[in-house]
């Protein structure tokens, strides 16, 4: 049975749920990571790790040098924007209020609800699975950058490269982190498609209160 709408939803009052800084960094990160993924696939095709390649039609850069230029440009955008977001999240308490607390009990409970198709969606409030996913993708972003540095400058960052199992190990770590980020994006877009009212607040920052449950 779906939860009853909140008083804010019944009155139609708009509630601020996404600060401007969060919205701006969200969309910059989205653009940067998409460019990095598409150009990264082209770079991968130049020296595949596994027995497959990505179709050229879904890659960016046209050739290896062009893909590297796109990749590095997006990398610096992601790093600078990511550092700003992390600093903002720590200083303002955004991380603490939105992603914590996170317990194994709450994560398991929400995961079981998700398997049954019973996921609560309250705008501006993340359930345990969402909190874990956002924390995870932030960590994967950091892994992408660090492993990318190890691949780019294996001699200058030799300690980092060795920590990841050498040059080929760093490539594998980079690929796995990229695959996890792609998986997160696919799940994220699927949830947005299932609950489209969550999209507009990422542009406007405001929405009517209330909670709905996906069945």
Q: What percentage of the chain exceeds 90 in pLDDT?
A: 48
Residue 133 in this model has a pLDDT that exceeds 50: yes
Residues 119 and 168 in one domain: yes
Secondary structure (3-state) at 211 = strand
Residue 49 falls inside a structural domain = yes
pLDDT in tens, 17-57: 778 888 999 999 999 999 999 999 999 999 999 999 999 99
What is the per-residue pLDDT for 69? 94
Residue 1 falls inside a structural domain = no
Predicted TM-score (pTM) of the model is: 0.78
Instruction: Identify the burial level of 213 via C-beta atoms within 10 angstroms of its C-beta, where 0-12 means exposed, 13-18 middle and 19 or more buried.
Output: middle
Residues 129 and 200 in one domain: yes
Residue 210 in this model has a pLDDT that exceeds 80: no
**CATH number, domain containing residue 144:** 1.20.950.20
Residue 4 falls inside a structural domain = no
Residue 210 falls inside a structural domain = no
Residues 132 and 77 in one domain: no
Domain end position, chosen among 67, 92, 117: 92
Instruction: Provide mean pLDDT across the span 187-196.
Output: 81
Residue 31 falls inside a structural domain = yes
Domain end position, chosen among 37, 58, 92: 92
Q: Domain count for the chain, please give it.
A: 2
Give residue 178's domain range. 101-204
Report yes or no: 121 and 129 within 8 Å, Cβ to Cβ. no
pLDDT in tens, 144-164: 999 999 999 999 999 999 999
What is the per-residue pLDDT for 15? 65
What is the per-residue pLDDT for 190? 83
Q: How confident is the model at residue 116 (pLDDT cuts 50, 70, 90)?
A: low
Which segment, 4-8, 69-73, 102-106, is predicted with the most confidence on average? 69-73
Ramachandran sector of residue 26 (left: φ over 0; alpha: ψ -120 to 50; beta: rest): alpha
Residue 74 falls inside a structural domain = yes
Domain end position, chosen among 92, 118, 138: 92
Residues 125 and 198 in one domain: yes
What is the per-residue pLDDT for 99? 78
């Amino acid at each position: 049975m779906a939860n009853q709408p909140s008083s804010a939803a019944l009155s139609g009052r708009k509630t601020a749920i996404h600060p401007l800084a969060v919205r701006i960094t969200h969309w910059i990160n989205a653009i940067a990571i998409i460019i990095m993924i598409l150009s990264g696939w082209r770079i991968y095709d130049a020296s595949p790790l596994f027995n497959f390649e990505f179709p050229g039609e879904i890659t960016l850069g046209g050739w290896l040098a062009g893909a590297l230029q796109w990749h590095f440009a997006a990398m610096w955008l992601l790093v600078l924007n990511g550092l700003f977001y992390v600093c903002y999240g720590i200083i303002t308490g955004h991380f603490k209020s939105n992603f914590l607390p996170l317990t194994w009990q709450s994560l398991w409970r929400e995961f079981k609800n998700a398997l049954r198709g019973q996921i609560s969606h309250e705008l501006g409030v993340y359930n345990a699975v969402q909190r874990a996913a956002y924390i995870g993708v932030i960590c994967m972003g950091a892994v992408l950058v660090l492993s990318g540095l190890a691949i780019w400058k294996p001699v200058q960052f030799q300690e980092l490269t060795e920590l990841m199992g050498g040059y080929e190990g760093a490539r594998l770590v980079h690929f796995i982190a990229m695959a996890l980020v792609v998986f997160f994006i696919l799940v994220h877009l699927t949830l947005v498609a299932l609950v489209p009212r969550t999209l507009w607040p990422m542009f406007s920052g405001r929405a009517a209160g209330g909670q709905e449950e996906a069945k």
